[in-house]
Chain A
Amino acid sequence: MTTSSLPQSLITTLPGGHYTDENVFALEQARVFESMWTCVVRAADLAKPGAFKTVQVGRESVLVTRARDNSIRAFLNVCRHRGARIRTEESGEVKRAFQCPYHAWTYDLEGKLIAAPNLTKMPDIDRVEYGLVNVHVREWLGYVWVNLSDEPVPFEEEVQGQIVERLGDLGSIENYDIPNLGLARRTVYDVKSNWKLIVENFMECYHCATIHPELTEVIPEFAEGLATQLSVGHGAEFGEDVEGFTVDGSAGADRIDGVSEDQDRRYYGLTVRPLMFVNLVPDHVILHRMFPLAVDRTIVECDWLFRKDVVDSGRDLDSSIELFHRVNVQDFEACERTQLGMGSRAYAKGGVLVPSEHHIGAFHEWVLDRLGTSLA
């Protein structure tokens, strides 16, 4: 199929193979996930020095921890001796060092090799050189981003640049005071879908009226099928009789202090490539982090954040949380259903995007550009 044969209303998607081919996924691991800033951990989950999390970034397991000076550090989760994985749990806490369970090579919280059997008999081993391999780390909005490349693109350009592109400035997101919010709920979804389908789904609202009845009740303009992400700084307005961003339109929790009058009664959705979504409503923030594990499997961790005093009060937040939980389930079911078609010969050359989805074409071009390939 050539583009010239398409009606003007339509542009093509990526071919189905881009969602099923192990080689494409391997290229994405190397050139997208391992080459960009990805948001992996909520900083408050690393409560004190020695607390750690292990996360999958591309092909690598990454150990994220808090050092003695309270700074956040990240290392490749691999012993420098014989390559054993240092920690296999998703999270935990060490008292003062990471020790490989195989030969007891022992690293401090800054990654330096501090002990190993007979190490003093090998004074020529440099303890920093043979320390854990450091990964670039950045903390922002109360979350930790890592970047596995040797020379990362500046965080300001790659991550904050996308926020500015969407909202017009950084102040608009900082108004929500995300670092000081409390975690009310975390749900982990194991989605049998390629990561790009999840991104593409989040980018468009053509599906909203069909699969998101509750969301469309709260935000009637979603029924028009236009994504909020289309115009800079646009927030989708709540319906007139809607009191809050809840599953039944009832009142939500207390508004976050910094939220401006312009931002009140509005929903802002942000795609932060490659693997993060942020949803802003006046009384809470819903933040998605994706961890692609295979070409057809993506773990999505979703955090619901409210004012700390709201979370600490123990008040029932179910009606607020239920709304986006349903949206998530509805979206991920759609992504899994779509994944089933990706290997079909009916989709070998891909499908089409209608005008309200045309901006997804830019996402596809962005992916191809990162992979260094084209669909010529």
Chain B
Amino acid sequence: MIPACALAALPRGEAFRLDTVEPPIAVFHTDDGELYAVDDTCTHQDASLADGWLEGCEVECPLHASRFDLRTGEVDAPPAKLPVRTHGVVVEDGTVYVVPSDLPPNLPPGARARTA
């Protein structure tokens, strides 16, 4: 379990980019108050999903408008083809923790080379 940020520092509608892990993880706080964590890197091209747009339970990549379902990581809109990996989120004593997935990430070509 990795501490990400204080819950108070992550208002609804915002995202936190946890870059102390490789690959980085994005934690989203939806307008409905849910917390989700997925790999921060879009599976299509190296871009930060935390910099993207959160709408409901979806995030849209700021570069090419691929959309991912934060609950499952599945692609809702192309050009991305592969899902983003999802992670567990736990809140304890006002701190948001990420429980990283054991599965291999789906990273885009550039990012893959660097993190291999």
Residues on A lying within 8 angstroms of B by beta carbon are 96-97, 99, 104, 106, 114-121
A to B CB contacts below 8 Å, 14 in the list = A104-B64, A106-B63, A115-B47, A115-B62, A117-B46, A117-B110, A118-B46, A118-B110, A119-B48, A119-B51, A120-B19, A120-B24, A120-B41, A121-B114
The answer to whether B46 and A106 touch across the interface, beta carbons within 8 angstroms, is no
User: A118's closest neighbor in chain B, by CB?
Assistant: B46
The answer to whether B46 and A115 touch across the interface, beta carbons within 8 angstroms, is no
- Cβ of B45 < 8 Å from any Cβ of A? yes
Given contacts A114-B51, A119-B47, 17 further A-B contacts (CB under 8 A): A97-B62, A99-B63, A115-B47, A115-B48, A115-B52, A115-B62, A115-B63, A116-B63, A117-B45, A117-B63, A117-B110, A118-B46, A120-B19, A120-B41, A120-B46, A120-B47, A121-B114
Residues on B lying within 8 angstroms of A by beta carbon are 17, 19, 24, 40-41, 45-48, 51-53, 62-64, 110, 114
Nearest chain B CB to A97 CB, angstrom units: 7
A residues near B40, Cβ cutoff 8 Å: 120
User: B48's closest neighbor in chain A, by CB?
Assistant: A120
The answer to whether B46 and A104 touch across the interface, beta carbons within 8 angstroms, is no
The answer to whether A106 and B62 touch across the interface, beta carbons within 8 angstroms, is yes
User: A95's closest neighbor in chain B, by CB?
Assistant: B53
A residues near B24, Cβ cutoff 8 Å: 120
Nearest chain B CB to A362 CB, angstrom units: 53
A327–B110 Cα gap in the complex (Å)? 62
A119–B63 Cα gap in the complex (Å)? 11
A residues near B45, Cβ cutoff 8 Å: 117
